[in-house]
């Protein structure tokens, strides 16, 4: 038997967890569970690791590990240093400035300085 609550719409107990939601297999109703909502607000922290697996945090300094072509701009060279980074949600996790220009970079191209 599952530990999931019964469906709030049809009250049957044939429910399962699907990603971030609970789903009723009988009627197809989907809803957010109370336990998922609480854990998401508690863990509002963003976890980002650099290319070496080191945990990055806001305010760290990072160094580029390879040349990066930037759309509409020159190439960022390997070894360029970004100071005082910010971590953001999304595909590009690191918001930083290099030579006074703001960039959003992927952490896989950075190492902690």
Q: What is the pLDDT of residues 48-102, one digit of tens each?
A: 999 999 999 999 999 999 999 998 878 999 999 999 999 998 889 999 999 999 9
69 and 52 together in one domain: yes
Name the residue with higher pLDDT: 97 or 12: 97
Domain count, the chain: 2
- Mean pLDDT within 8-30: 84
**Is 45 a residue whose pLDDT tops 60?**
yes
Per residue in 63-86, is it b (16+ CB within 10 Å) or e — as a string? bbeeebeeeeeeebeeebebeebe
63 and 25 together in one domain: no
In sign, the C-alpha dihedral spanning 6, 8, 11, 16 is negative
pLDDT score recorded for residue 31: 84
15 and 57 together in one domain: no
Name the average pLDDT for the chain.
84
Give pTM, 2 decimals: 0.60
C-beta separation of 75 from 69 below 8 A: yes
70 and 30 together in one domain: no
Gap between the Cα atoms of 32 and 41, Å rounded = 13
71 and 55 together in one domain: yes
| 19: containing domain | 1-44
């Amino acid at each position: 038997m599952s530990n999931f609550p019964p469906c709030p719409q049809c009250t049957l107990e044939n429910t399962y967890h699907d990603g971030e939601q609970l789903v009723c297999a009988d009627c197809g109703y989907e809803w957010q569970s109370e336990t998922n909502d609480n854990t998401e607000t508690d863990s509002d922290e963003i976890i980002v690791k650099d290319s070496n697996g080191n945990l990055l945090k806001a305010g760290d300094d990072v160094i580029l590990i390879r040349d990066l072509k930037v759309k509409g701009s020159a190439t960022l060279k390997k070894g360029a240093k970004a100071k005082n980074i910010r971590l953001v949600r999304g595909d590009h996790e690191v918001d930083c400035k290099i030579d006074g220009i703001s960039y959003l970079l992927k952490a896989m191209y950075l190492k902690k300085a």
